[in-house]
Amino acid sequence: MIGLGLFYELTVRIPSGKAPAEILTASGERIVGEPGARLGLGDLILTRGDWIELRAPSGETYRLSPGSEFTLKPVPIRSEVGISPVY
């Protein structure tokens, strides 16, 4: 989970028949990237051969093509710490 209980949710996975998407958690766990999976701060999603759609807490949608990577990193914003997607 991203600080304050925020997370990005994997909403769509379109398999290509090749290796499935995978989430590598900040704690080192490997999770198959299926709809409903949550991506938190420090987690990394590897789309491998799949098309993936992620939804941010704010409603923004990110569509990732096969062979993509996506992670969330902390970013200082004034006196607070926010998050920023990195892809």
Q: What is the pTM of this model?
A: 0.80
Residue that the structure tokens 């996506």 belong to:
70
The tens digit of pLDDT for each residue in 45-86 reads: 999 999 999 999 888 999 999 999 999 887 776 656 566 777
Listed in sequence order, the residues at least 6 apart from 17 whose beta carbon sits closer than 8 Å to its beta carbon are 49
What is the pLDDT averaged over residues 21-32? 94
Question: How would residue 2 be classed by pLDDT, with cut points 50, 70 and 90?
Answer: very low
- For the ranges 14-18, 23-27, 29-33, the lowest mean pLDDT is seen at 14-18
pLDDT at 77: 66
Of 43, 26, 20, which is closest to residue 9 (Cα–Cα)? Answer: 43
